[in-house]
Structure 1
Amino acid sequence: MIRESPAAAVRAAMTERTARQQPVWPDRDALDLVEAELTDLPGLTTEDEVVDLARGMTLVAEGAGLVLQGGDCAERFHEAVPELVRRKVDHLQGLAAMLRAGSGLIGVAIGRLAGQYGKPRSSPFEPDPEEVGRTMASYCGDAVNDPAPDPARRVPDPRRLRTAYDSSQVVLREVRRAWCGKPLEERVYAAHELLLLPYERSLVRDGVRGAFSAAAHFGWIGERTRGLGDAHVALAAGVHNPIGVKIGPTASPDDVVALTRVLNPDGVPGRLSLILRYGADDVDRMLPPVVSAVARQGAPVVWLCDPMHGNGLKLHGVKTRLVESMLAEVTSFVRVLVGHGQRPAGLHLELTPDPVTECVSPQVANPTFPDYRSTCDPRLNPEQSVALIAHFLDRLSWSG
């Protein structure tokens, strides 16, 4: 009897589960062909690289390091060129160095890059600005469709999944160049949300230690796809990469405890990160019972703060985030974790090395957005990123 390989078992488990937040692909035959093509291609990441990051995350879990996850809300295909990638990597390395210098600990840098080409959306459709009463598919990332407000270009195209692979390969090539001559703790690793299942499923590979995702070094499950019976959880449970889960206001303490047990059944330090995204208005009320329950009943986790996704709003019709709200959520995150005897281990930020004006301060009357470049959600510019990290370090020093 031929035993099913670990990677094949993961793919089978995913296929049997509910698949949320998936595009409506109009041509299923074309999708199947692309998935078969991706399955036959070399993995983008290697098992040794995944294990190197896992060792760094173990140090974080043991109190010897901090994590910075950062990068674009949604990568663009046209930005997969060496010069732009190197700017992003250099920026992340600089911010991780700031964490190291300010804490005296190892700074593990994980970029939202080399695969952040898919985006979950609150609605699969949005109004067509060119014709009243007509709708078009929502932009779901370059791996699915084009952001231009044209119904024809918004139709999900499976060939874009192959372009996502090719673009990720270019980005990873430059990421590895940046590793040359640097110790493991100064590398930038690649991560993205584990979202588009035909892509993620096709890049699960067999390794010496079992199945692993060869699409990324680190992958996370979003707030909308973390159901225990969902395909995304089956994927994350079946691979040995370090993984994360976004936790927001809809997650009960029991939900979170159950996730930690399913995703880290062996209690491996650094295996699982919980990326908290409550919003400044809800974090003080909702985070304490979750931390208490996980500390008492759950498997070990690395606690990270995403102060961005719960603090979005629209000003003058523009999606933005208030810097002061993000600072307030970081303050609450540190206070609650320390108050429950747990360790605040880092930040998950959407940021860019470009001098964009996408996030604003409420202290500015009538804010404007003269340099808004994101195709999806607003990002921190370098000055704002430094301010947020400095604030986190400052609160850590108070708690210590």
Structure 2
Amino acid sequence: MASNWTPDGWKAQEARHLPVYGDAEKLSEVEATLAKFPPLVFAGEARELKKDLAEVAEGRGFLLQGGDCAESFAEFHPDNIRDTFRVLLQMAVVLTFASKQPVVKVGRMAGQFAKPRSAPTEKSGDLELPSYFGDIINGIEFDPETRRNDPERMLRAFSQSAATLNLLRAFAGGGYANLRQVHQWTLDHIDRSPWGEKFSQMADRIGEALDFMAACGVDPTTVPQLQGTSFYTSHEALLLPYEQALTRRDSLTGDWYDCSAHMLWIGDRTRFEGSAHVEFLRGVGNPIGMKCGPSLEPDALLRMLDTLNPSREPGRMTLISRFGHDKVEAGLPKLVRAVKAEGHPVVWSCDPMHGNVIKAESGFKTRPFERILNEVRGFFAVHRAEGTHAGGIHIEMTGQDVTECTGGAIAITDEALADRYHTHCDPRLNGAQSIELAFEMADLLNLEATAHHKQAA
């Protein structure tokens, strides 16, 4: 447990990208209410995830982390949760089948509501209002009342997170994730994509393997790993009043855990020395992710690791690189070398989304699929060259048939972006593009495995 730490100690540090609430009394009331609510997740679950990530850090697994850029109140529907969950299941099956290693599944779900913005206000004509910081803080409609920072939105976000978690637990353990259902996971719009047939062929092979096991006397119904799956949740720990209110001391160990999610991460904009967000996260026992981009120097990264994981606990830290397709091979190696030289046990994961946003001629923000794929390829190339494990992927995606990222085998064009552009924040990969990315990564994982076998020979 971190020394000299309290859940509210972050208030003495510099807090960037936190909303200013006009009604301090109402904020205190909401915080007190949240503090009385039951935890959304349990400390033991966070420890299980940490164990799984420790295996990934040792090169014996892969982290798949994905979900919405920002969850919204308006799009909250069980079908949307189910569709994102099953695309993540499909991706995990593709990656497991290729790598012959376990895939740790973590959703950007059940809490990913708050978003940092580059400017505190935005202007339309002569009207200047607070920027939209996510549904947990204010509303997306551009009017004074909706853009008012309202602490009571935290209560609605908690309620939606609880309902989402309840459904995810049911899907993961209630039979939906049974490998016998693998053919039923495919959505219609994915089935129509060029990768739908490839997934169907792989599903046939999995079915044959299960039939073979049954013929040999191994009853798949008695193997828990074939009946369900472990699925964890994560979000950026940005809105610290919410995170503090859901922080609990574990009755078994006495350690503090942020019980709003299994895993939390700190973004590029709040990752600095003296940061309130760093101070908060150093004291909770959850697995922690940290975004690493072009602005981060090796010495600063090592100091952050010493602050957030002084005991060098395996599975505690996941470093999420986000450079851009044309910068990853130049910028990432120095960070990898520094961490390797110091012996920090980390999971290296790739965020190929945030460094590849462009403005299309149509005016929409988009992310070209080819740039996303090229950053992933560059990430794997760096780790092959450095002899380290390319351990994960962190993507913004949805199971919905949206048109937000151009390209891919389904060839979404600039002109087609307006057809189904629904995101509340940044553009997301749709289901078909996500499956395509999984198959491309499967090939890269095979290359990594071949390289490791050659080194061992």
TM over 0.5: yes
Contact 1:7 1:204 in 2 (8 A): no
Residue identity opposite 2:364 in structure 1: V
SS in 2 for 1:324: helix
For structure 1, which segment, 352-361 or 9-18, has the greater mean C-alpha deviation from structure 2 after superposition?
Answer: 9-18
Contact 2:50 2:315 in 1 (8 A): yes
How far is 1:270 from its partner?
1.4
The equivalent residue for 2:367 is: 321
What count of residue pairs does the alignment treat as equivalent?
A: 393
Instruction: Determine if the alignment matches structure 1 residue 216 to structure 2 residue 267.
Output: no
Matched, 1:197 2:240: yes
The corresponding residue for 1:382 is 431
2:276 to 227, 231, 256: 231
> 1:260·1:298 contact (CA, 8 Å) conserved in 2?
no
**Is this contact kept in 2: 1:264–1:271, CA < 8 A?**
yes
Deviations along 1:37-57, one digit per CA (max 9) or x if unpaired, are 111211111112112211211
Q: How does 1:70-85 map to 2 (within 5 A)?
A: 70-85=66-81
1:123 equivalent in alignment to 2:119 = yes
What is the match of residue 94 of structure 2?
A: 98
Match of 1:139 in 2: 132
Q: CA deviation at 1:268?
A: 1.6
Which one-letter code corresponds to 1:231 in the other structure?
A
Shift of 1:303: 0.1
* Residues 286-305 of structure 1 deviation map (CA, whole Å, 9 limit, x = unaligned): 11111111111252210000
CA distance in 2, matches of 1:277, 1:243: 16
1:200 deviation in Å?
0.5
Matched, 1:348 2:394: yes
Secondary structure, in 3 states, of the residue corresponding to 1:77? coil
Deviation at 1:231, TM superposition (A): 1.4
Q: In the TM superposition, what is the alpha-carbon distance from 1:100 to its structure 2 partner?
A: 0.9
- SS of the aligned residue for 2:34 comes to helix
Distance 1:298 1:30, change over 3 A: farther
**Bigger Rg, which one:** 2
Which residue does 2:106 correspond to in 1? 110
Indicate if the aligned counterparts of 2:325 and 2:372 stay in contact, CA closer than 8 A: yes
Letter in 2 for 1:29: E
Residue 37 of structure 1: aligned partner: 33
Partner Cα distance (1:168, 1:365) in 2? 34
TM-score by structure 2 length? 0.82
How far the C-alpha of 1:152 sits from its partner, in A, is: 2.1
Contact 2:248 2:258 in 1 (8 A): yes
Aligned to 2:332: 287
SS at match of 1:368: helix
Question: What secondary structure is seen at the aligned counterpart in 2 of 1:126?
Answer: strand
1:205-284 aligned within 5 A: 205-207=248-250, 208-209=252-253, 210-284=255-329
1:9: how far off?
Answer: 3.7
1:333 matches 2:379: yes
Distance in 2 between residues matched to 1:233 and 1:265, nearest whole Å: 13
CA contact (8 A) 2:289 2:317 kept: yes
What corresponds to 1:300 in structure 2? 345
1:66 counterpart letter in structure 2 = F
* Unaligned stretches of 5+ residues in structure 1: none
Contact preservation (8 Å) 1:17, 1:231? yes
Gapped regions of structure 2 (runs ≥ 5): 178-223, 451-457
How many Å apart are 1:153 and its aligned residue?
0.7
Equivalent position amino acid for 1:395 in 2: L
Three-state SS of the structure 1 residue aligned to 2:234 is strand
Q: What amino acid does structure 2 have at the position aligned with 1:93?
A: L
Instruction: Return 214-223 or 231-240, whichever deviates more.
Output: 231-240
Q: Against the structure 1 CA distance between its residues 236 and 298, is the aligned structure 2 distance closer, same or farther, given a 3 Å change threshold? A: farther
| Conserved? CA contact 2:406–2:414, under 8 Å | no
User: How far off its partner does 1:366 sit?
Assistant: 4.6
Partner of 1:173: 166
Alpha-carbon RMSD across the aligned residues, in angstroms, is 2.0
Map 1:154-173 onto structure 2 (within 5 A). 154-173=147-166
